[in-house]
Structure 1
Amino acid sequence: MTVQALLRRASGLSVSKSMADRAVRQRMERTGHDDSDAYLANLTAEEMTQLVELVVVPESWLFRDPQAFYATVELVQERWSRGRATRIASIPCAGGEEPYSMVMALRDANLPKQAFSIDAYDLSQACIERAQAGVYGRNAFRAQDMAFRERYFTPLSDGNYRLLDALRTQVTFRQGNLLQFDTKALAQRYDVVFCRNLLIYFDKPTTRAAIAKLSALLADDGMLLAGYAEVPSFCQNGFVPLPYRQAFALKKDDGRRPAITRAPAALPVAKKPALHSVAFMPPVTRTQPMCVAAPVATPPANLLAEARSLADRGLLRDAADKCHAHLARVPEAAEAYYLLGLINELACKMDLADDYWRRCIYLQPDHYEALCHLALLAERNGNNTAATTLKSRAARIYQRRQAGAGH
């Protein structure tokens, strides 16, 4: 079994061969091994955990895509007005940025601590320990309004900031893998689940399995917050969007579509970190799985289907060859360029990925998935202006799709 397959079986993560090989080399150096075959043949559960830690590199920040927190505050306020406390989960929680942002948002709304509880999970034990410490550098503070830092953090001598103990104790952190959750024991445990920018790192079968777990965890009248690029996957697997602007909120599909009283521009386009980590994966620093959109119908479609299958198995060069073969026959096939973008992202060739996605939207300006990936890439590179523009374009496309589906 390949290293990639071992890592996928242990965590659900789809990682590139170069990333997997790099992790093995680092652990071999640390453990004194000089034979990779012998190292892999004698992998213990503890050593596999260390390998997974090396490919889970979460990056997030406080109040990332704040509309999700505001939507949650609104829900908690409404339920507390009826004497009902709200149970919230953050999966994955990376370094704690997301659940702590939620605590601060609820505190700002003058909600008592009895009105809610927050559980935060992550695959990485290192992430859990960092989250429990509640210490953040300047990179975690990227929100436009930074007043919360003055209210809730204490500056440290090394330039970092520590969250006040009164807020840290309101989050319960646990190490865990979403794909291994005991959904019978946790059935409908949560009223709100944050799971943002996790599914984009899974293949289709793992995506379906993860959504099934999330659905089991979520109360029937609960709300799920996703990353904007993940909304289509949820909608294909038993969820429907809720009308919160820029929150990417969904609910279980009970056959009744929610009334759209506000433009759902948010649902599809304004994202997780977190490439949070998670069973959790890392957010913006992870590789992307291949299956996001069905190919645009341009014959011969079988080449693109083969490309997807090859990429999901880690055969990136062969997958790229299939895409180029398709383009030789259909030069203006936007979907082939989209897949080439995903393939190059898996290979950690981000400049090429960016170029292919831009060719895709040049040929098909309303390609929602390509716009989402470009927005994530722009966000990752710190180009917030471009990210906002791309998210807005994707939101308009998504809104048109929703309007069309309702007729």
Structure 2
Amino acid sequence: MTPAAATGLSDADFARFCEYFYKRTGIHFTSGKRYFVDKRIDTCIRNSRYDTFASWFAALRTNDKGEMMQELINQLTVNETYFLREDYQFDAMLSTVLPDVLAARGGPGRIVGPVKILSLPCSTGEEPYSIALRLLEEWDQIDHVDVEIHGGDIDSDVLAKAAHASYGDRSLQRVPKPWLNKYFVSVGAGRYQVDEGIRSAVTLHRINICDTPAMRAFRDFDVIFCRNVLIYFDELSSRRAAENLYGALRPGGYLFLGHSESMSRISPIFTPTRLPEGLVYQRPTGGK
């Protein structure tokens, strides 16, 4: 038996809660995450006007689109990121994917509409801002092609941090010094803020990747980075997320997953494509 939380969370309570949270978010917690979940629920209850799990959980279910649910999501989502993480995939984007996107859409100077790139989940913003930095510094078409960069996450707290875009040494450890001087402003205490021009070029959204109706608002993306999130889902949620990502891509569009993730274990709807830098997945051009 796992010890109950300070608020009296029993094994039965834990099971009920995990089933409920899974249905709302697609995130699956096993018994191995019991201590982590108990502690986060304790925090939410202590921040509320309720003093027991039963009363708090009843209120949560009564208004599961409100502030209580958002606080819970913010507590239970893990956000581990830094600038230029797994940058071999950015290399692939620049050297192969974007040239292919332009060629498929008529060639440089002839494409209709912007090239659209999505980072999902974007956490505190390091990934979409890394994409912007790599494009500005290393893509020879950046002055000739309109680009839209979007970031989305289920956690409203990390989105607020992404919008502010202030980072410390750990996040910035891989940013070249010339880039730091060029695109960041020191805000004191060892922190640097992404300059306003880049911040304004990234559009942020609160979105749950498993929420199919909400994901229908995301369409015609040429490139999606969805790294290190599917590992938190079970088979059903992973398949739903894959289908939503498929719907968000333009036919022929590219999907990057984390290095430990494989779409072949989730769904056959994407075409695996081997690039010099590694594996990427495409929505087939004949797909509906």
- Shorter chain as normaliser: what TM range? 0.7 to 0.9
Letter aligned with residue 249 of structure 2: L
Cα shift at 1:227: 0.7
Q: Which residue of 1 aligns with 2:20?
A: 6
Q: Quick check: which one's helix share is greater?
A: 1
| 15-24 vs 166-175, which moves further | 15-24
Q: Quick check: which one's strand share is greater?
A: 2
Cα shift at 1:113: 7.8
Cα shift at 1:32: 3.9
What CA distance in whole angstroms lies between the structure 2 residues aligned with 1:241 and 1:13?
25
Structure 2 gaps of 5+ residues are: 1-14
Alignment of 1:2-401 (within 5 A): 2-15=16-29, 16-43=33-60, 44-45=63-64, 46-74=67-95, 75-77=97-99, 79=102, 81-84=108-111, 85-108=114-137, 109-110=139-140, 111-112=142-143, 114-143=145-174, 145-182=176-213, 185-186=216-217, 188-233=219-264, 236-253=267-284
What CA distance in whole angstroms lies between the structure 1 residues aligned with 2:182 and 2:46?
44
2:208, 2:214 within 8 Å by CA — same for their partners in 1?
Answer: no
What CA distance in whole angstroms lies between the structure 1 residues aligned with 2:18 and 2:174?
36
1:183, 1:217 within 8 Å by CA — same for their partners in 2?
Answer: no
Q: Which residue of 2 aligns with 1:315?
A: none
Cα distance 1:187–1:120, how it changes in 2: closer, same or farther (>3 A)?
closer
What CA distance in whole angstroms lies between the structure 1 residues aligned with 2:20 and 2:85?
32
Cα distance 1:19–1:113, how it changes in 2: closer, same or farther (>3 A)?
farther
Cα shift at 1:121: 0.7
Cα distance 1:142–1:244, how it changes in 2: closer, same or farther (>3 A)?
farther
SS, match of residue 274 in structure 2: coil
Cα shift at 1:22: 1.3
Cα shift at 1:3: 1.6
Cα distance 1:87–1:186, how it changes in 2: closer, same or farther (>3 A)?
same
SS, match of residue 86 in structure 2: coil
Cα distance 1:248–1:134, how it changes in 2: closer, same or farther (>3 A)?
farther
Q: Which residue of 2 aligns with 1:342?
A: none
Cα shift at 1:216: 0.9
Letter aligned with residue 182 of structure 2: R
Cα shift at 1:24: 1.5
Q: Please give the TM-score of this superposition, normalised by the length of structure 2.
A: 0.81
Cα distance 1:222–1:94, how it changes in 2: closer, same or farther (>3 A)?
same
Cα shift at 1:166: 0.9
**Count of paired positions:** 255
What CA distance in whole angstroms lies between the structure 2 residues aligned with 1:225 and 1:4?
29
What CA distance in whole angstroms lies between the structure 1 residues aligned with 2:261 and 2:247?
18
| 215-224 vs 237-246, which moves further | 237-246
2:207, 2:215 within 8 Å by CA — same for their partners in 1?
Answer: no
SS, match of residue 82 in structure 2: coil
Q: Please give the TM-score of this superposition, normalised by the length of structure 1.
A: 0.58
What CA distance in whole angstroms lies between the structure 1 residues aligned with 2:147 and 2:136?
11
1:190, 1:217 within 8 Å by CA — same for their partners in 2?
Answer: yes
Letter aligned with residue 70 of structure 1: D
Cα shift at 1:14: 1.8
Cα shift at 1:185: 4.5
SS, match of residue 162 in structure 2: helix
Cα distance 1:247–1:152, how it changes in 2: closer, same or farther (>3 A)?
farther
